[in-house]
């Protein structure tokens, strides 16, 4: 044996697919670009919608029409492991901020598109990653420095800020033609919450088919669809003023007394005593509930026909099988607490509201609790034609609600419509000229990637992107130069031209800050950080190892045609 020859060592299982090196890195980048291109046309007020049939673990015949980036990517069954990073950052942007899900995916894809040229020219991925992180840090700090902070001194002025942010979030959605109507509704809904917690789960959304979009309403309280009811329900009163409300997690059915019980008897006569005991137990429960003085009884568990008739005879309304989130919102609105037993119920355990009623909305019956003393919740009743249309309205309002929440917690705002991105691009281009080495190329490419947002806004609207971007570059470069040469430091937002972006109404450029196209600064900082993080993650991978699928235990080999032999047959 030749001592110079190394023995062959087999580490991975046979059939393992291993791809590495620059070709694998470029392949991952191309996969991410394909994902970004899939939702590119949904960006902005003139963006198009996508119709997705099935997917995302849903039924095969389900249809979703949306232009929300996170929703579309969630429904697409993306199998490429590297491309899933863009899906993750889109979901993270949706969870953290609520808007900008399409923008963050496009920006991450554009960064990778710019880096692809450098990788092909031989730039090491680690140098690219270092340059991208430097550019991201500079951009985030510059956004924080230049964002305009609106303090909550004047409530009317602060409400106007929230309405501007909600209106901007809705401008690219299906409901953009009814922005004034829904803007007021969204801001009222968020301001009705506890301002310290701002839990968006306490804003209920109920979809009722039929009617026009303007028939949607904000209910200052709780509304939920009429639950399953037994005989005797129609005899119960459906309207109360200042009722006491009892919330339970107790099953009020006769069969419940027999669950998990074993009784042994020696004489047949004793069986009647067992039956009487079951009846006495449930009657004891019902009597204790009536003794509390409650006029509305809600339970997370079923309320049977015996209890329903018992309450109807005593002019008490009851509803069983109330959804957990609805019952929690009722408790937050009317007060009290959910009880798991009917024993020792005190006055402080009961809630109250000004009016309780059961009302017809569309073709559905709803139970409404209004005039709640400590209402920290509200309900949006959404109307419309097709189910897909109402579902898209719900997603649009969710994005607007999340934006208003973030605007309350973080009072710094920037201009939208590509203005903030162009301002950052001008700043980073200017900074890149002050350094040397390959980092200059990377930061310049990062600055160029930022222009994808205004460019795509122009493309989706049918504008001349080349002409408008040239005008924006000139405006922002002039504003940056004026700011650097000024002896007195200007206040943020005071430099004319520094918030110029794409003006959709005039099909040109305009001062979007003066036009009140505002977005929370958190949207941009989170977008920059998430997109850069995803791009660096993709660039840091140089090998993909795909393990072969293991055969199921006990699996039999595939037989040949006609079942002959025991060998492996044709596939």
- Identify whether 387 is part of a domain: no
pLDDT tens digits, one per residue of 227-276: 888 887 888 888 988 889 999 998 888 765 555 567 777 777 777 777 77
Which token pair is 214? 């303007």
pLDDT tens digits, one per residue of 221-239: 888 888 888 887 888 888 9
**Sign of the CA dihedral running 251, 254, 258, 263:** positive
Q: Residue 496: which pLDDT band, with cuts at 50, 70 and 90? A: very low
Q: What is the largest CA-CA distance in the chain?
A: 104
Look up the domain containing 364 and give its range: 221-256+267-374
User: Are 213 and 225 part of one and the same domain?
Assistant: no
Q: How far is 563 from 149, CA to CA, in rounded Å?
A: 77
Give the model's pLDDT for residue 6.
58
Is residue 147 a contact partner of residue 521, using CB atoms and an 8 Å limit?
A: yes
User: Which runs of consecutive H residues, i.e. helices, occur in 451-546?
Assistant: 452-461, 465-485, 521-539
Hey, which of 97-101, 398-402, 454-458, 509-513 has the most confident mean pLDDT?
A: 454-458
| Contact residues for 380 (Cβ-Cβ < 8 A; gap 6+) | 185, 189, 203, 204, 205, 206, 216, 217, 218, 219, 397
User: Are 226 and 352 part of one and the same domain?
Assistant: yes
Q: How far is 203 from 461, CA to CA, in rounded Å?
A: 34
> Quick one: angle between helices 101-120 and 438-450, nearest 10?
150
- Identify whether 436 is part of a domain: yes
Structural domains counted in the chain: 3
Q: How far is 508 from 321, CA to CA, in rounded Å?
A: 56
Strand partners for 361: 364
Of 218, 186, 199, the closest CA to residue 329 belongs to 199
pLDDT tens digits, one per residue of 505-542: 888 888 888 888 888 888 899 999 999 999 999 999 88
Give the model's pLDDT for residue 59.
57
User: Are 209 and 75 part of one and the same domain?
Assistant: no
User: Are 421 and 529 part of one and the same domain?
Assistant: yes
- Answer yes or no: is pLDDT of 153 > 50: yes
User: Are 424 and 496 part of one and the same domain?
Assistant: yes
Q: What is the mean pLDDT of the chain?
A: 83
Average pLDDT for residues 494-507, to the nearest whole number? Answer: 74
Give the model's pLDDT for residue 297.
92
Percent of the chain exceeding pLDDT 90 equals 23
For residue 200, the Cα-to-chain-centroid distance in whole angstroms is: 10
Q: Residue 449: which pLDDT band, with cuts at 50, 70 and 90? A: very high
Residue 276, H or E segment: helix 270-291
pTM recorded for the entire structure: 0.78
User: Are 423 and 287 part of one and the same domain?
Assistant: no
User: Are 231 and 359 part of one and the same domain?
Assistant: yes
Q: 482: domain CATH number?
A: 1.10.560.10
Q: How far is 467 from 178, CA to CA, in rounded Å?
A: 31
Q: Residue 115: which pLDDT band, with cuts at 50, 70 and 90? A: very high
């Amino acid at each position: 044996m030749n001592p110079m020859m190394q023995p062959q060592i087999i580490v991975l299982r046979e059939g393992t697919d291993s791809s590495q090196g620059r070709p694998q890195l470029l392949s991952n980048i191309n996969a991410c670009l394909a994902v970004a291109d899939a939702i590119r046309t949904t960006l902005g007020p003139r963006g198009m919608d996508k119709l997705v049939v099935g997917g995302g673990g849903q039924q095969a015949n389900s249809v979703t029409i949306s232009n929300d980036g996170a929703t579309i990517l969630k429904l697409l069954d993306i199998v490429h492991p590297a491309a899933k990073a863009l899906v993750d950052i889109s979901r993270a942007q949706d969870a953290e901020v609520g808007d900008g899900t399409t923008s963050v995916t496009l920006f991450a894809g554009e960064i990778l598109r710019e880096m692809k040229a450098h990788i092909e020219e031989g730039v090491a991925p680690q140098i690219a990653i270092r340059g991208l992180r430097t550019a991201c840090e500079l951009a985030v700090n510059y956004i924080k420095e230049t964002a305009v902070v609106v303090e909550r001194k004047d409530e009317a002025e602060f409400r106007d800020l929230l309405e501007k942010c909600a209106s901007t979030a809705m401008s690219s959605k299906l409901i953009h033609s009814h922005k004034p109507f829904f803007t007021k509704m969204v801001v009222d809904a968020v301001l009705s919450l506890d301002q310290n917690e701002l839990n968006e789960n306490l804003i209920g959304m109920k979809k009722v088919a039929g009617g026009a979009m303007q028939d949607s309403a904000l209910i200052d309280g709780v509304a939920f669809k009429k639950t399953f009811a037994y005989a005797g329900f129609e005899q119960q009163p459906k309207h109360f003023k200042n009722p006491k409300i009892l919330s339970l997690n107790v099953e009020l059915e006769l069969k419940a007394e027999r669950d998990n019980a074993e009784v042994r008897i020696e004489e047949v006569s004793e069986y009647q005593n067992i039956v009487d005991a079951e009846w006495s137990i449930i009657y004891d429960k019902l009597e204790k509930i009536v003794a509390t003085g409650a006029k509305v009884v809600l339970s997370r568990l079923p309320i049977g026909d015996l209890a329903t008739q018992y309450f109807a005879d005593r002019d008490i309304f009851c509803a069983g099988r109330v959804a957990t989130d609805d019952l929690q919102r009722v408790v937050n609105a009317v007060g009290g607490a959910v009880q798991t037993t009917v024993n020792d119920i005190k006055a402080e355990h009961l809630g109250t509201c000004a009016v309780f009623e059961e009302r017809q909305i569309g073709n559905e019956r709803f139970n409404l609790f209004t005039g709640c003393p400590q209402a920290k919740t509200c309900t949006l009743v959404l109307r419309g034609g097709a189910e897909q249309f109402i579902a898209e309205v719900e997603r649009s309002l969710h994005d607007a609600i999340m934006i208003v929440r973030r605007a309350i917690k973080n009072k710094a705002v920037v201009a939208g419509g590509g203005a903030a991105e162009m301002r950052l691009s001008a700043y980073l281009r200017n900074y890149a000229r002050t350094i040397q080495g390959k980092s200059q190329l990377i930061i310049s490419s990062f600055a160029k990637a930022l222009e994808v947002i205004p460019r795509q806004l122009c493309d989706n609207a049918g504008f001349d992107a080349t002409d408008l971007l040239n005008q924006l570059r000139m405006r922002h470069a002039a504003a940056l130069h004026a700011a650097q040469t000024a002896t007195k430091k200007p206040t943020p937002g005071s430099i004319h031209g520094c918030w110029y972006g794409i003006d959709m109404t005039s099909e040109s450029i305009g001062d979007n800050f003066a036009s009140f196209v505002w977005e929370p600064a958190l949207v941009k900082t989170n977008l920059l950080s998430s997109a850069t993080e995803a791009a660096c993650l993709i660039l840091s991978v140089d090998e993909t190892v795909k393990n072969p699928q293991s055969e199921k235990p006990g699996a039999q080999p595939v037989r040949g045609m006609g079942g002959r032999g025991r060998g492996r047959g044709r596939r």
